[in-house]
Structure formats: structure tokens, C-alpha cells
Amino acid sequence: MVARIYRPAKTAMQSGKAKTKRWALDYEPESPREIEPLMGYTSSVDMKGQIRLFFETCEEAVAYAKAQGIPYRVSEAHERKTRPMAYADNFRFDRATPWTH
């Protein structure tokens, strides 16, 4: 079973960057999830799908996977690009698009 090493993105409910600094190791699913016909619950026979390990750096996660003999693949983290803006920029005279109601 292949493990995936990645840095999780922030959730939609977060405005900050909490819980996005650490690296996570998850196992890829071995079998697809099945829908239970009576109640509609989703289930899986894959027990490793419940495991998620956290590491401070990518190198620590890779070293752990190598030490345990786990095949892995690393997904590089995408850095967020922010443009510095000020509230006063909304009222500049040389604005690219005019401000109207």
C-alpha cells in the first residue's frame, strides 16, 4: 500500500494558517468504499485508511516511511500568493476600474 506525504491545506472554515505547517502521511485506499444498501452508510474494509501521522518536516516523514519499508509518494506543497493591499487603494483616483454602485 502506497503512502502519500503532503502538507494539508487550510480548511474552508479557517481564516488563518493553523494546522498547515506540519506534513501528513496518509495511506492510499486499497479498495473502494461501499454503500450499505439499507441505511446508506459508507464503509470500507481498509483499516489503514484511518491512520494519519503528522511530522514537522517532509524529511522526517520520508525517513519514517523508509525506516518502516513503506512505499511513498511526496506531493509538493503549493504556497499561497498574496497581494499586499490597503483599504485606501479602493478610493484611489488612478484605479484601473472605476468604483460605482
pLDDT digits (tens, 9 = 90+) for 8-28: 888 778 777 787 889 999 999
Domains and CATH numbers, the chain: 3-77 (3.30.160.190)
| 52-69 confidence digits (pLDDT tens) | 999 999 999 999 999 999
Start-to-end Cα distance in the chain: 56
Contact in structure between 57 and 77 (CB atoms under 8 Å): no
Q: Is the pTM of this model over 0.85?
A: no
d(CA 16, CA 64): 29
In sequence order, what are the residues at sequence separation of 6 or more whose Cβ sits closer than 8 angstroms to the Cβ of residue 31?
A: 44, 45, 46
